[in-house]
Structure 1
Amino acid sequence: MKLNCVARPSAFQDAVIIEAVQLIEQAGPLDDAQAMREAASAHADGPARIAARARILGQRIGLQDELARARHWAPWVLLALVALIVLAGLTLAGSVVGNSERRINVVVALASLLGLHLLTLLLWLFGLVVPLGAFNASFGWIWLALTARVAGGRQGQTPLLLRAATRLMARARLLPWALGFVSHAIWSLSFTVVIAALLFALAFRSYTLNWETTILEPAFFVHAVQWLGAAPSWLGFPVPDANAVLSPLAAASGQRAWALWLTGCIVVYGLLPRGVFALLCAAVWRLRRKSLRPDGSQAYFSRLLARFDAMAPRHIVDADSGPAPRRMPTSLSDGEVGDAVVLIGFELPDELPWPPSEARASGAQVLRIDGSAGARRALLDELARLRPRRAFVACNAASSPDRGTERFLREVMALCGECRLRLPGADEAAHRRWHGWLADAGLDRLLITEGAETLS
């Protein structure tokens, strides 16, 4: 089950808040009694109630305010990062064409302009198949990390919101695509600046382009130029022939071929791949963005839904309209319960000793209810939080069981793995009376137990 939070424009924000509240509650449950009541009264279905509860708790913690600050600072941080990349691109282009001798080693220039780009692109492609965190050093991740630092500082909740957002994107298999879009877009802008600066310098200044080697054969450069120039030639960029490659001082036309070959390689192996992958990332984001929802199949959300169900109003009247079929309540499965064992005293008289002496030795958690609506609600909320594997309900054996007792037992049975009834001080007649009442109420499978050995 997926929590449906995509019907409103703020669906992604709701999903991030829900995920952030879940991360906070991994360290311990929040005081959410008021939030539960407000969410239950405002919404009818469970997923909407969970989203409303998260919004209420997030507002109290300050998550919405920090998320708004992050959204405000994100474009400014991106603009600053782009400015740095443009400056770096200009610096890189200047390092190629800015030397005083006006000589350009085309092999060194190509390696310096494309080396880091090709390495990071291969890591990103590898990260699509095997997510090893290779994209944590991408421009996209740097942008998110800087935004979290600027918007929230060291003590704010923005890093938590960043973790929640990345968990959502990772679950929807969108994290490398989202971060990749930012990274590819910035690389595309950088290559655009480099190509523009390079063309401007080559158009209005005279340079000598050549290659140099100490140990490699000249034939190596002939084959390398032909091989690297194959793809740019499809777009009309010239490829120097063998004579131009082997000639130590090429003619002016040969220098022009070298310059356009170098530019074509940067376009084809630098700008075009980044631009294409940026468009692909944007398309994948549009196709999968509806999957950015919390995973409602997790036990965390199942517990919240059970607590909301336990808070549903009971429309029971005392007037007896005739016998009606009774069903045994469905208890929690083994995978839904915790390790807790609870012992509940239900409307016990003051003269009856409570808690029993064996409770201390068993380690069971002892609770008590006096029958008031507030105490009843608080106890059921506590059971919904604990989800015990076994619950013992101790009732006054001398009293006559009524509909209030039946309703309470049914509510307890729905919130635990196994429920058992204890009748402290009961004689044989009381046992017969309670057994008969349990059979009439449809609760005949509810065990009546006594003794310290049962509190386990």
Structure 2
Amino acid sequence: MTTLERLWLCEAIRLREEHAGPLEDGEANRRAVAAGGALGQRIQARAGFLAARDGQLEALQHWRQGARLALLALLVLALLSGAGLGFAALGDGQRPVNVFWALGSLLGLHLLTLLGWALGLAFAGDSGGALGRLWLWLSGKLARDAQVAQLAPALLLVLQRQRLGRWALGSLVHGLWLVALLGALLILLALLATRRYGFVWETTILGDELFVALTQGLGALPALLGFAVPAPETIRASGAAALAEPGARQAWSSWLLGVLLVYGLLPRLLLGAFCAVRWYAGRARLGLDLGLPGYQLLRERLLPSSERLGVLDPAPAPLAGGPAARLATDSDGALLVAVELDERRAWPPKLPAGVADAGVLDSREQRQHLLEQLSRFPPARLAIACDPRRSPDRGTLALLGELARSAASTRVWLLAPPPGEALDSERLGDWHAALEQLQLVHADSAPLRWLETGHD
């Protein structure tokens, strides 16, 4: 995952919590603290876990797929629109081509949108133009995921921090116009190569010299690249009727192509390259605004005072019996823990050497303590004992999933009922179905040999 995507998910999670309230993030915070690093890195680690858990990471992938499809659709539309401009400018060859009407057809909308982009950049700050907004809208529609609605605003907020939105959308807009004008240029070349066109200019109130000056002025820059400019006599003669001389036709054709290239394609190419350079240079400066209230609330949870100020007192002793201490020195350790057992049940069973007992988890504080220990010292094998006479409620299943993610390998031990008690088969089936949904292996007999050796 790129830095931009991590920051993007952080903003999406922050916006979600601002609108819907704080998320259940106990496990995410523990994992972020265990990963270490500065506050910004821990916020990114927390957001990555929450996004993967709640489906926003998958929604981001869907948005990216939608963005690619939207870009492809816009590129095809731009190419077809450019081809249409080329056909509209020259026509079918049955009538002479009015050179300045053709030039207006090819460059008029391009110059107006270019002026609009420049004004938006100067006064609005972040100008993506209508094409940029269309692309964002299409990306969300093609993603077909309800959660992408939170992603587009989050992306814009991330980019606006370094004023990168203007350069990202600017690259897109200029790239699409470049494709459109390139399509028009290719159609012009194809039509001029396969049909015979005559060129004229027409006016009622303007004089010949104005068109001479305008034609030569527009052709000055293309002439530096080798494009022909009609002679003054040719320009004047073209005001009465289309000239039949091949030289005049070729001069007007070359002038039209040169003007389209210099005043159409080259500005879009240069501006697109400029926006792309600013975009890639600015991405290195992207970061989180840690002064935002949503991130300030996470500071104490992800960067406790003991870490920021230094450890003032020795750490409390780990769990009774020392499983954490054992795991700290033996990364291949094995651990047995029970969840909400009846007090009348004898516990723990006799454990093999090398298997630690984490006791019975009955309270929230006990669960929190064990999860913090496991985040620092994950065991290689973890067995979780459960009483299948109890219903597999959502809280218990969430705890089982979190414990399982803290160990390399996990098994759930469904304890047999005490002598004289029958086990409800329907409830046992509920346990089996819930554990299969969590993708957890369950055992109906004590998995002590597996805890000791790693196999049955």
TM-score range, shorter chain: 0.5 to 0.7
Distance in 2, matches of 1:105 and 1:81, equals 30
1:399 maps to which residue? none
Q: Deviations over 1:129-175 (max 9, x none)?
A: 2226642413x33223211111035xx12132111112111211211
Residue 158 of structure 1 corresponds to 148
**Superposition pairs of residues 110-259 of structure 1, within 5 angstroms:** 110-131=103-124, 134-138=127-131, 140-152=132-144, 156-247=146-237, 248-249=240-241, 250=243, 251-259=245-253
Q: Is the 8 A contact 2:91 2:97 kept in 1?
A: no
Percentage of pairs with the same residue:
36
Matched, 1:50 2:53: no
Q: Which amino acid aligns with 1:256?
A: Q
Q: Tell me by how many angstroms 1:12 deviates.
A: 1.3
Q: Hey, what's the Cα distance between the residues in 2 that align with 1:307 and 1:72? A: 35
CA displacement at 1:57 relative to structure 2:
2.0
User: Alpha-carbon deviation of 1:46?
Assistant: 2.1
Q: CA offset at residue 100 of structure 1? A: 5.3
The equivalences for 1:284-363 within 5 A come to 284-310=278-304, 312=306, 316=313
Q: Is the 8 A contact 2:128 2:165 kept in 1?
A: no
Identify unmatched segments of 5+ residues in structure 1. 1-8, 320-371, 379-456
Q: Which amino acid aligns with 1:151?
A: A
Separation of aligned partners in 2, 1:10 and 1:110: 44
Equivalent of 1:282, from 265, 276, 283? 276
How many Å separate the matches in 1 of 2:315 and 2:103?
88
The answer (yes or no) to whether the contact 2:127–2:169 under 8 Å persists in 1 is no
8 Å contact from structure 1 (residues 46, 305) kept in 2: yes
> For structure 1, which segment, 84-93 or 249-258, has the greater mean C-alpha deviation from structure 2 after superposition?
249-258
Gaps of 5+ in 2: 317-362, 370-456
Give me the whole-angstrom Cα distance separating, in 1, the residues matched to 2:125 and 2:42.
36
Match of 1:107 in 2: 100
8 Å CA contact 1:240, 1:257 repeated in 2 = yes
Match for 1:26: what amino acid? E
Residues in 2 aligned to 1:195 and 1:309: alpha-carbon distance in whole angstroms: 59
Q: How far apart are the structure 1 equivalents of 2:315 and 2:11?
A: 43
Q: Deviations over 1:232-288 (max 9, x none)?
A: 111111112221111123333122111111111000000111111121122112211
Paired AA for residue 275 in structure 2: C
Superposition deviation, residue 215 in structure 1: 2.5
Residue aligning to 2:90: 97
Q: Give structure 1 regions of 4+ aligned residues with deviation exceeding 3 angstroms.
A: 309-319, 372-375
**Shift in CA distance, 57/24, structure 1 to aligned 2, threshold 3 Å:** same
Q: Whole-Å Cα distance in 2 between the matches of residues 289 and 269 of structure 1?
A: 30
Shift of 1:318: 11
Specify the code of the residue in structure 2 equivalent to 1:64. L
Aligned residue in 1 for 2:77: 84
- 1:299 deviates by 3.1
Aligned counterpart in structure 2 of residue 11 of structure 1, from 3, 26, 31 = 3
Q: Which whole-Å CA distance do the structure 2 matches of 1:207 and 1:67 have between them?
A: 52
Q: Is the 8 A contact 2:93 2:197 kept in 1?
A: no
Change (3 A) 1:37 1:260: same
Deviation at 1:24, TM superposition (A): 1.3
Q: CA deviation at 1:291?
A: 1.8
Q: For 1:291, what is the secondary structure of its paired residue? A: coil
TM-score, normalised relative to structure 2: 0.64
Aligned equivalents of 2:83, 2:98: Cα separation in 1: 18
Tell me the equivalent position of 1:39.
32
Matched length: 314
CA offset at residue 317 of structure 1?
5.5
Partners of 1:168 and 1:317 in 2: CA distance: 41
CA distance in 2, matches of 1:166, 1:269: 31
